[in-house]
Structure 1
Amino acid sequence: MTKRVAGTIINPEDAGTSFLVKQVEGQFKFYNFPVLANQTPLSSILWKLRHEVGIDVDQLRLYDSVVAQSGQENISLFVFNHLKIDATIREACRQQGLVFVPARKLHGLFESVKVNTIPSFENLSK
């Protein structure tokens, strides 16, 4: 079985917190993919965000990290804060099919990912 990693970036705003996600067949999913060869899950997500999405990962701060179950598979899920989400970052994400979506629209996503402990980002979705 291929080990997978997922990641998101939270963006707290006056209107509420949004999360970086991908929309697949009408459903929101965390940005996820197989762990890269000879890399850890964390280094894989950082590499993809830097080299494929185009985000300056030096501006990311790890907010939370959990092992979650999505369907029958365990995935490492990393949640980051970014020091400044601007139009350039939003456009780089959009080109990779990633968008920032308000937490209030992501209840189905949060419910579909099961963790052994309550992740701290779950409180932000209310």
Structure 2
Amino acid sequence: MKQVAGTILMTDGENTQFLVTRDDKTGTYQFFKTPVVADKTALASILEQMRDLLSIELNDLRLSELTTCEVNHEDISLFVFDHLVISPELQDRVTKAGLSFVDGSQLHDLFHDVKIDAAPVFD
């Protein structure tokens, strides 16, 4: 099944944090991912999942980057969003969903699999 990944950036002026999930078995970080719904685009699928899981107002998201990343030896589209306001309520919903905002300095292994110069996967 085709997957799509997404993350939300949170910047405080000095540090940038990324919305990620952590694998309990390996302790590694991963981008939030979801299957691409058969009758929807990859973008629509990730937005719908973020809206439903985190109760995010989609009007508050701004697409800042589209690239690919490798997950289990498969290239998948990675959508990077800026969020206008990261409220304490959103932080709480993120935590309850098993996700977290993690400082980019802790995500070197995750970024190793991001392919900045690759074209997104649209199929």
Instruction: Answer yes or no: same fold by TM over 0.5.
Output: yes
TM-align CA RMSD:
1.4
1:17 and 2:10 correspond: no
1:40 and 2:41 correspond: yes
C-alpha displacement of 1:95: 1.1
Q: C-alpha distance in 1, partners of 2:106/2:43?
A: 27
1:101 counterpart SS class: strand
Q: C-alpha distance in 1, partners of 2:83/2:116?
A: 26
1:64-84 C-alpha deviation (Å, 9 max, x unpaired): 001332232121100000001
Q: C-alpha distance in 1, partners of 2:94/2:114?
A: 26
Q: Which runs of 5+ in 2 are unaligned?
A: 119-123
Q: Do the aligned residues in 2 keep the contact of 1:55 with 1:92 (CA within 8 Å)?
A: no
Q: 1 or 2, which has the higher helix percentage?
A: 1
1:28-67 C-alpha deviation (Å, 9 max, x unpaired): 1000121122111100010011112211111000000013
Q: Do the aligned residues in 2 keep the contact of 1:6 with 1:45 (CA within 8 Å)?
A: yes
Q: Do the aligned residues in 2 keep the contact of 1:5 with 1:75 (CA within 8 Å)?
A: yes
Q: C-alpha distance in 1, partners of 2:20/2:31?
A: 5
Q: Do the aligned residues in 2 keep the contact of 1:22 with 1:28 (CA within 8 Å)?
A: yes
1:30 counterpart SS class: strand
The aligned residue for residue 76 of structure 1 is: 77
User: How many residues are treated as equivalent by the alignment?
Assistant: 116
Q: Percent identity?
A: 37
Moved >6 Å (runs of 4+): none
Q: Which runs of 5+ in 1 are unaligned?
A: 119-126
Partner AA of 1:17 in structure 2 = T
